[in-house]
Structure 1
Amino acid sequence: MQKSQPKNIVILTGAGISADSGIATFRASDGLWEKHNIEEVATPEGYARNPELVQRFYNERRAQLLDPKIKPNRAHSALAELEAHYQNKGIGSVTIVTQNIDDLHQRAGSKNVMHMHGELLKLRCVKTQQVVEWRSAKPVTNADRCQCCTSPQALRPHIVWFGEMPFYMDEIHYKLSRADLFVAIGTSGHVYPAAGFVANARSLGLPTLELNLEASQNASQFTDSIYGRATDTVPQWVHSLICS
């Protein structure tokens, strides 16, 4: 790993950072998402065919996230500590780009978070794309309508489905262009465009670090790697960085 303290860090997080908080990864080894085909619950076409099924799927995920037992873990807290340290010391910036749709980074105290795949606790109008908060375990139904249209429209999950463009792509590439270090935590390296960020970083000459339970699919593209549970490796890495 690089010896001097980087000024601007871009950190990509995936499902592995939330696993120890009790948030299950969507996709199982058999390719199903909670016993559903991906095409049924994570595509625009699936929503058009059966909006009730899709709403029910995300209602269940939302209820799980809002369970009082689900809390940020030591990895989330360590990244929030790192961001606060950089801000308080005026060192530079720490940007978290997350593939996760939970709000555990924010609950831990992180401020500079980009949810490239959307957020579970938000809905958006199918016509205007206006986003509204939904921080309630009350199930969303197709009877729930927006307040932004003259003729109220349906509210869909504020989730980026397969076949849709992730959010914040221009901002992410700008942050990478200004970064001194790119870090990926708890990512599989399967899902693009996020899996391509390490190649972007390498093309810019940045050092790259993978913190993961095991080697990701694109592990060979990282200049350094640390393997183990995120609740162990992330606090240790943050402590080493703050104390360097």
Structure 2
Amino acid sequence: MSVTDKTAVVTGAGSTRGIGRATAHTLAAAGWHVAVLDLDEASAKDAAHEVAERSGVQALGVGCDVTHEASVEDALAVLEDSLPPVGALVNNAGITSPTPFLEVSGEEWDRIFAVNVRGAFNVTRRLAPGMAERGFGRIVFLSSVSAERGGGVFGGVAYSAAKAGQLGFTRALARELGPHGVTVNAVAPGLIDTDITGGALEGERKAQLLAGIPVGRNGNVHDVADLITYLCREESGYITGATYDVNGGAHIH
């Protein structure tokens, strides 16, 4: 059994400067075929085209709203017709919200949970049975340092709570799926230079944030993508239910 005859699904991998697209490239370089799911179908197709061209693997980009079960069902039906069986899932699709708790609306709270938690459920619930049946699977959740230290980086309470929800999801699912050859882990990035952080990483604010990072720099998408790809290897089958911090030492616990 080898990853070269399997597909890795990465959600929210359309953004050109995001962790998702970097992960799609790194997985492809390791031999995985890749399916990119993104709300922006054009970006998903662009990412897949880029991956196929660079790594020579099969790649497919599909428009998908992870918050809607029917959209997930349609997207996965397309990829199951076109690519080898799914062996890995990276739940990367996510949105942040800086709104302070005393100002947050119920609607915004639900929107944050819909993408980060329900979205991950919708895709995982659909793909996990096939992995369990085939006796091999790697599931990785993209959580955040905000979940561990209680915000204080970018996201407010809604974001921190949703990302913490993913950690409980990861741990409990690891227990259930372990006997079926499926590992489930979480990655908790700190300050990573992406479009989400973009404008906040300038001038005095940047200096202030970097002062608290022992390695003296913010992270980049490859720092995270390499770790995710490591967790998806066949050889990483004894690592499960774990949360990996990628934060340059900014949060040590």
What TM-score comes out, normalization by structure 2 length?
Answer: 0.41
TM-score between both structures, scaled by the size of structure 1: 0.42
* Structure label with greater radius of gyration: 1
Larger relative helix fraction: 2
